[in-house]
Amino acid sequence: MAGALDGIKVLDLSRVLAGPWCTQILADFGADVLKIEAPGAGDDTRSWGPPYLTGDDDMPGEKGESAYYLSCNRNKRSVAVNLADQRGADLIRRLAAEADILVENFKLGGLAKYGLDYAGLKAINPRLVYTSITGFGQTGPYASRAGYDFVAQAMGGLMSITGEADGSPMKVGVAITDLSTGMYAATSTLMALRHAERTGEGQHVDVSLLDTQISMLANQALTYLVGGQSPGRLGNAHPTVVPYRLFRTANGEIVIAVGNNGQFRQLVKVLGVPELADDPRYATNGDRVHNRAGLEAQIEDLTSAWASGELTATLLAAGVPAGPVNEVGQILTDEFAEARGTVHHFTRADGASVPSVAYPGKLSATPATFRRIPPRVGEHSRAALAEWLGLADEELDALAAAGVIADRADLLAAQKQGETA
C-alpha cells in the first residue's frame, strides 16, 4: 500500500525532539527521511538515558539506543556528515537540490555560515520547503536566544496555570511544547508542500516553541483577552467547567468530567443526591462555577464511600465521563492499547524487540506504516548518498577516508578487524 507521502524526499537537519517529532510524522506516511547527524555521537538524545536498548552491534563506548531517541526517530535513515568540512556542506547542498523538504532546528543563523540557510538553498532549489524550528522564531526581540521546552513552558504561561493553587508553578510531565511544535511544524510543512506542488514555489516555514506554547494556551489565553485577568493554577480542577476534576474514593482517586447539565443530573443521581440537580446554586454550569467549593466538597464526601472501580463503572453506565488515573505502564498494557495497535514492536536483526508508540491517527486509505527501526549513527550513509546523489564507491571511499562522512558498516568492519588482529 502506497503511503500518502511516498516519493517525498526530506532532509532532516534537526535533533532532540521538536524537529525529529515533525520528521517522524512525515516518515510514518512514506516520506524518505535522511537524518543528517554529526559523525560520532550523533543526535544529542542518543545519550539521554537510562534506559538504553543495547544490541549485538554496540561498539566500545556505546550504551545502546536511549528510549528518548527511540521515541522520535523511526522510519528514517541516518547519514553522518561533517558539516564543518566544506566538502560536507557541499554534500548537504547537493542533497538539498534533490529534496522536497528540509527541516532544521539550528540556532538563528547557524546554517548560514555553511551556505545552508534558506536563501542559499532556495537559489539552487526554488521548490524547496525549508522548515526552521527555533525557540523564539526568525524575527522578534528573542530570536537570538537558544530555545528549550522548559523555558518555553515557563515563558509561554503554561507553568503559571499548571500545579496546585497554593503550590509552585509546574511543568507538564513530557516536553509538551516541543511535541506541539513538532506537530505544528509537520502541519505547516505539508501545507507549504501542497503550495509547492501546485505552483513550483517553495517557502520558508518559521515555527517557534514560544509561538506554539502561546497558541496552545487556547481557552486560557482567551480568558485573559476577553476578561482582562490572567488565569491561575487550580490543580486538577477546570477553570470554567464544574465538576471536572480528580475526586477521592475509598481506595484512590478517579477523574469525573461533567460537561453539561444532563451529565450533572446523572452524576448526582448515581451519588444518591438527585435533589442537587434542582438546587438553584447548581442548576447551570455557570452556577456551579460560582459555587465550586461547596459543590465539590459535597461530591467528594460522597465519592469517598465508593471503591474506584465500582464508581467508575457505575458512572460510565449512567453516561457520566469518568476514568482511572493510570500509570504509564497501565495504559500501555490496557486492552484499549491492544485493540488500537498503540504499541508497535520492530524485530531487530539480532532478534531484539524494539518498541515504538504508533502514530495515533487511523487513516483508512493511507495509514501510517512502521518500516524502519530508528537508525544507528551513519547506518545508511553510503547507501543513501549513492541513491540520492548517484555517488560511486570510489567517491564514497574518498569521503569516508577524509572524515567527511562516516558509515556505521565501515566502523563495525574496522572494529571487527581490530578484534581479530
Three-state DSSP at 57 gives coil
Q: Answer for the pair 59, 415: CB distance below 8 angstroms, yes or no.
A: yes
178 is catalytic: yes
In terms of DSSP H, where are the helices of 147-291? 149-155, 176-199, 209-215, 219-227, 261-270, 285-290
Please give the Cα distance from 56 to 68 (Å, whole number). 20
Q: Answer for the pair 152, 216: CB distance below 8 angstroms, yes or no.
A: no
Number of Cβ atoms within 10 Å of the Cβ of 25: 24
Q: What is the DSSP string of 104-144?
A: E-PPTTTTGGGT-SHHHHHTT-TT-EEEEEESS-SSSTTTT
Residue linked to cell 527501526: 373
Active-site pick, 100, 117, 149, 178: 178
C-alpha cell belonging to residue 246: 480528580
Please give the Cα distance from 175 to 164 (Å, whole number). 20
| Dihedral sign for Cα atoms in the order 175, 177, 178, 182 | positive
Please give the Cα distance from 262 to 255 (Å, whole number). 18
Which residue from 144, 10, 57, 2 is spatially nearest to 376, judged by alpha carbons? 57
Beta strand spans in 258-337 (E): 322-324
| Angle in degrees, 0-180, between the axes of helices 381-389 and 408-420, rounded to the nearest 10 | 140
Number of Cβ atoms within 10 Å of the Cβ of 413: 11
Dihedral angle over CA of 346, 350, 352, 356, nearest 10: -30
For 129, residues 6+ apart whose C-beta sits below 8 A from its C-beta are: 100, 101, 102, 189, 192, 193, 196, 202, 203, 205
Which residue from 64, 89, 88, 72 is spatially nearest to 133, judged by alpha carbons? 72
Please give the Cα distance from 217 to 158 (Å, whole number). 7
For 332, residues 6+ apart whose C-beta sits below 8 A from its C-beta are: 342, 343, 357
Could you list the active site residues?
178
